[in-house]
Amino acid sequence: MHVVIRADGGPEIGYGHLVRSNALAEEILSREHKASIATTTPRPAESMFPDASEIIELPSRSDPDPFIDQLGPVQPDIVFTDAYPVDTEYQRAIRSEVPLAVLQDDARHAVCADVFVNGNLYASDISYEFVGQRPELCLGTEYVLLRSEVREYITSDAPFRKNPEQALVVMGGSDIANMTPTVIRAFDGFDLRVDAIVGPGVPKSQAEEVRSIAEAVEADVQVLRNPDDLVERMFRADFAVSTASSITYELLGLGTPIISIPVVDNQDLIANALRNRSTATVLERGAGKEEFCRAAREYGSSPDLRRKRQEIGQQLVDGQSTERTCSEILSVVENGG
């Protein structure tokens, strides 16, 4: 079976769509099927997806015609899309040629698809509009797309220390709000080892600022650019500071308590869901050093809170969600569309 994945990502628009689409590609390939990636951001895609995935470069994010032109020569069995510009008409154009699975984080577009995926905490709380036959629905964290290395750690017992020893700062592949310096300053004077992650899309000047601040504070801060062992560091951390983005679900599954902050509009839904379910400590957008410091001290002084958050996270996100989602998508073809 041949699946074409339509996704974009990079320094300017973030890496979240590529990360979770890569999780699907890994699972497709593990089942000995073929995966191709149609994207307007070929270089970030090449760095993210498995080598076995063919990259198809597109000239436009929002115009479906170049993509539709590729479907004839490529001849996929089904298309999966994870890109905000893939609106209702774009979906309709694809579905007129081939079965379609759509991942969408909200109800911004009416959905025209055979399978609809929203793996977010709040997915079942939203009212959606569908065009044509109602798709198979994959809603909630049972269908969140997680990378294979994350799923491997989810099956292990998450570590727990009464007194925290290490924290993690991971503000996205591009840190588009430049929050890492603020968070590092908040750890000044803490008796912790802090891993501050600089993502692949962070500009050199911004990374240098992070390193300069890490050297200036009275805390054991290690700055790491896109480390190969990031998932292990996430798993080992006593708590993490992150954006309210797709990495939230990796941290929940790993059992890592979270201090979360939304930095762009489309992260507000995740932040609100975390807050409403008491699943993380959620700060308001624009929070500064003092707010991060108070949140970190609360985790440091309350092992019961960290244990509770660890247990809730692992209940919400299991290690089978990617396999479950992939099976639902492939079943459209296996059952004759």
- Residue 84 sits in a domain whose CATH number is 3.40.50.11190
Give Cα 127 to chain centroid, integer Å: 22
Pair 140, 156 in one domain? no
Using CB atoms within 10 A of its CB, is residue 266 exposed (0-12), middle (13-18) or buried (19+)? middle
Tokens matching residue 1? 């079976």
Please tell me the predicted confidence (pLDDT) of residue 337.
Answer: 59
Q: Are residues 134 and 168 in the same domain?
A: no
pTM: 0.93
Dig out the tokens for 116 from the structure. Answer: 């609809």
d(CA 105, CA 163): 36
In terms of residue numbers, what domain contains 282?
150-316
Cβ-based neighbour number of residue 207 at 10 Å = 16
Asked if residue 289 and residue 169 are part of one domain, the reply reads yes
Instruction: Say whether both 142 and 155 belong to one domain.
Output: no
Residues 175 and 312 occupy one common structural domain: yes
C-beta separation of 101 from 81 below 8 A: yes
312, HSE (Cβ side, Cα atoms, 13 Å):
17
Positive or negative: CA dihedral 292, 296, 301, 307: positive
CATH number of the domain enclosing 276? 3.40.50.2000
**3 state DSSP class of 132:** coil
Residues 217 and 323 in one domain: no
102: three-class secondary structure by DSSP: strand
DSSP for residue 101 = E
Type of residue found at 153: Y
Q: Do 171 and 62 fall within a single domain?
A: no
Same domain, 78 and 177: no
Q: Residues 140, 190: one domain?
A: no
Which SS3 state, helix, strand or coil, does residue 11 take? coil
The closest alpha carbon to 146, from 14, 310, 318, 327, belongs to: 318
CA distance 263 to 249: 17
Within this chain, do residues 272 and 327 fall inside the same structural domain, yes or no? no
Cα(337)–Cα(326) distance, integer angstroms = 15
Whole-number Å distance between alpha carbons of 36 and 251: 28
Q: Are residues 329 and 217 in the same domain?
A: no
3-state secondary structure of 257: coil
Q: Are residues 158 and 291 in the same domain?
A: yes
Question: Which amino acid is it at 251?
Answer: L
Query: 97 by DSSP, 3-state: which?
Result: coil
Domain count, the chain: 2
DSSP 149: H
Helices (H), the chain: 16-30, 42-48, 65-74, 88-95, 148-154, 180-186, 204-216, 230-236, 247-254, 268-276, 289-301, 303-316, 321-334
- Which portions of the chain are predicted below pLDDT 50? none
Those residues with Cβ within 8 angstroms of residue 119's Cβ, 6 or more apart along the chain or in another chain? 20, 103, 138, 139, 140, 141, 142, 143, 144, 145, 249, 321, 325
Q: What is the pLDDT of residue 146?
A: 97
